[in-house]
Structure 1
Amino acid sequence: MKKILITGKNSYIGISFENWLMKEADNYKVDTLDMKDELWREKDFSHYDVVFHVAGIAHVSSDPKMEQLYYKVNRDLTIEAAKKAKEAGVKQFIFMSSIIVYGDSSSNKRIIDRNTLPTPSNFYGRSKLQAEEGIRFLDSDNFKVVILRPPMIYGKDSKGNYPRLAKLAKKIPIFPDIENGRSMLHIDNLCEIIRLIIDNKEQGLFFPQNKEYVRTSELVKVIAEAHDNKIWMTKLFNPVIKLVSGIGFVNKVFGNLVYERSMSDYGKGNYRIRSFEESIEMTEK
């Protein structure tokens, strides 16, 4: 039986992963740890095979007053937890980073491959990248460090940009038909690859994504259909959108940001168990 500690007790990903493993409760024992106060440092890590570190600030903020907090939580706390895990004899440390380390989405077609260098454009991305750099030095045969850089994660009760788009898709009768491309990752596909990474005792850098790239207009249309909302896609607004494509919100919605497909393949099991349309149906039902 694998003994796993999830740091980040109330996180969406942490809760989802714990529920995923409990489908095979005979194979996994899961505990969670709240790291919002100093008491977590008293926790004995020596009972665990794996520490899955999801504690952190997940949203992007442009408030300069928040910058030091991002580094304290996303970088410093991650490195401290990894060092504590290694000293306690934990065999594997899994860190949730993000595609955000490559910067924002782009108005032009943009495909990230293994040669693409991280260029974070905000302190959220920089805090994640510096956390990665801080824990890589701890990697060894006896302490396997895993770093995941997922794109936008979505699923039932998820947070972030997906529920905002979903709320829009349920109500509006018309939406711009823009030719963009986004990598996405359903929560079940994420949970499954983490389970496989644990079972296979992996280490290294991983780039999980769904099989399909998604256009924002397609995403909105499929969500709308799940709620019987007939939505008309039009290119009428495209010239205006292209004109303001550099603006933050417009870029988030209609920008391009995808991983090259082969870098997300995993040869030791099929983690992409949910197709795009199935995942939207499951999320919206």
Structure 2
Amino acid sequence: MLDDLNGAPTSEMPKVLLTGSTGFVGRSILGALVGAKYQVVNVTRKSAATTLPGVEDHRVESLSGENDWAAPLKGVDAVIHSAGRAHIMNETHANPLQAFREVNVDATLNLARQAAAAGVKRFVFISSVKVNGEETEVSRAFSSSDAPAPLDAYGVSKMEAEQALLALANQVSMDVVIIRPVLVYGPGVKANFERMIATVDKGLPLPFRTINNRRSLVFIDNLVDLICLCIHHPAAANRVFLVSDGEDLSIAQILEKLAVAMNKKSRLFAFPQFLLSLAASLVGKKDFLQRLCGSLQVDITDTRERLGWVPPVSVDRAFAITASHYRAQKAGVSHG
């Protein structure tokens, strides 16, 4: 059991219900829980069983405010809720906020209410830094105590879920822990980070040498380490935590570190940022350039001090692991 959440797990490992295990983050959480010998209830929207030792699989057709969680919650000590409607770059839904609310707010609160009624002791919710906002000034990092300032429907839905969960925690005996990751990377990462790796791998020249931005990132193993700590740490109860690798990097530093990890030559050159912005606007890539060259920093001082947590994997080691996986996958495809 969780020893009433007054310390680390005892010899009888707790039973943890996990949602979202088919996603990038959830897949790593599942692996960590299995590796640590937790009893795991794995709830997915896909029919395939994991066949992993100690894992009890359940399937739901979809996430909504109407799901019946009685069977999967039986005997569960803690819930890690990482499933949700993810941020979508090219949204096509007629009412995006409604779509996000149905999954990220209504379904989350429904699960949390039933978990509390079933005697679950702790509910760990994987939120997003987008609750804080989209951008920071250089050296002005977001903190967990800042007033929320989401700018899109996804961020609003995560904020509303957080607020509903913390309100629920004041009414029931179940603790809530909220974790807001920044951009997560690691083996198998997709989207912009994978594109950066591929660009460095091709040896293309890039005009970012003098861009003086700062980005907080979090390696998947560092994030999962914190999530697992929050299952049982007594000081995590009813708190919000920001998480990163603890080393903020400019876009130039990111690309240079990737070049080192890929055993490639860095081909960065200086180019006026206002001309970059003009060119990006002309080709409809202004938002993409902002994600590369804008700043988004988080202050994890509270996470470190309150939980005694230190990111276990250094940035250089994390980049090396990520690059090694990329090379292995590329070799596998090319010889497939």
- TM-score, structure 2 length as denominator? 0.77
Candidates 166, 175, 198, aligned match of 1:136: 166
- Offset of residue 59 of structure 1: 2.5
Q: Which residue of 1 aligns with 2:267?
A: 232
- What TM-score, normalized to structure 1? 0.90
Unaligned runs of 5+ in 2: 1-12, 46-59, 325-336
SS in 2 for 1:199: coil
Distance 2:20 2:226 in 1: 19
Query: Which residue of 159, 164, 179 corresponds with 2:212?
Result: 179
1:199 alignment partner in structure 2? 232
Partners in 1 of 2:139 and 2:247 — Cα distance? Answer: 16
Tell me, in whole angstroms, the C-alpha distance in 1 between the residues paired with 2:27 and 2:179.
17
* Aligned counterpart, 2:190: 159
Q: Determine if contact 1:51/1:94 at 8 Å carries over to the other structure.
A: yes
Structure with higher Rg: it is 2
Give, in whole Å, the separation in 2 of the partners of 1:13 and 1:78: 17
CA distance in 1, matches of 2:188, 2:305: 27
Partner of 1:54: 82
Per-residue CA distance 1:187-218 (angstroms, 9 max, x = gap):
11111111211132431111111121111121
Q: Given that residues 70 and 114 in structure 2 are in contact (C-alpha distance below 8 angstroms), is that contact kept between their aligned partners in structure 1?
A: no
Match of 1:37 in 2: 61
Matched residue type, 1:158: V
Structure 1 CA distance for aligned equivalents of residues 15 and 300 of structure 2: 32
Match of 2:315 among 267, 276, 284: 276
Report the CA distance between 1:166 and its aligned residue.
Answer: 1.6
Between the aligned partners of 1:173 and 1:244, the Cα distance in structure 2 is 18
Moved more, 92-101 or 172-181: 172-181
Matched to 2:187, the amino acid is K
Q: Relative to structure 1, is the Cα distance of residues 63 and 102 closer, same or farther in structure 2, using a 3 angstrom cutoff?
A: farther
Whether 1:119 and 2:129 are equivalent positions in the alignment is: no
Matched position secondary structure for 1:258:
coil
Deviation at 1:266, TM superposition (A): 3.9
Structure 1 contact 156–283 (Cα < 8 Å) conserved: yes
Tell me, in whole angstroms, the C-alpha distance in 2 between the residues paired with 1:34 and 1:114.
30
Letter in 1 for 2:61: D
* Range 3-12 or range 199-208, more displaced: 199-208
Matched with 1:82 is 112
Residue 110 of structure 1, CA deviation: 4.1
Mapped partners of 1:42, 1:116: distance in 2: 34
Moved more, 227-236 or 184-193: 227-236
Amino acid at match of 2:41: D
Task: Tell me whether 1:23 sits opposite 2:35 in the alignment.
Answer: yes
List runs of 5+ in structure 1 lacking aligned partners.
none
**Which of 21, 24, 30 matches 1:12?**
24
CA 1:243–1:70 in 2, change beyond 3 Å: closer, same or farther? Answer: same
Distance 1:143 1:208 in 2: 23
Match of 1:65 among 77, 85, 94: 94
For 1:37, the aligned partner's letter is E
Q: Cα distance 1:241–1:149, how it changes in 2: closer, same or farther (>3 A)?
A: same
How far residue 64 of structure 1 moved from its aligned partner, in angstroms, is 4.9
| TM-aligned CA deviation for residue 260 of structure 1 | 2.5
The change in CA–CA distance for 1:89 and 1:72 in structure 2 (over 3 A counts) is same
- Identical-pair percentage: 28
2 CA distance for matches of 1:91 and 1:261? 25
**Of 224, 248, 258, which residue of structure 1 is paired with 2:297?**
258
Matched residues in 2 for 1:66 and 1:221: separation?
41
Give the Cα separation in 1 of the matches to 2:33 and 2:289: 37
Pair 1:214-2:278 in alignment: no
State the alpha-carbon separation in 2 of the partners of residues 150 and 244 from structure 1.
Answer: 31
Quote the RMSD (CA, aligned, Å).
2.3
- What letter corresponds to residue 229 of structure 2 in structure 1? L
- State the aligned residue count: 283
**In structure 2, what residue type is equivalent to 1:51?**
V
Give the deviation of 1:24 after TM superposition: 2.2
**Larger deviation: 275-284 or 162-171?**
162-171
1:65 maps to amino acid: A
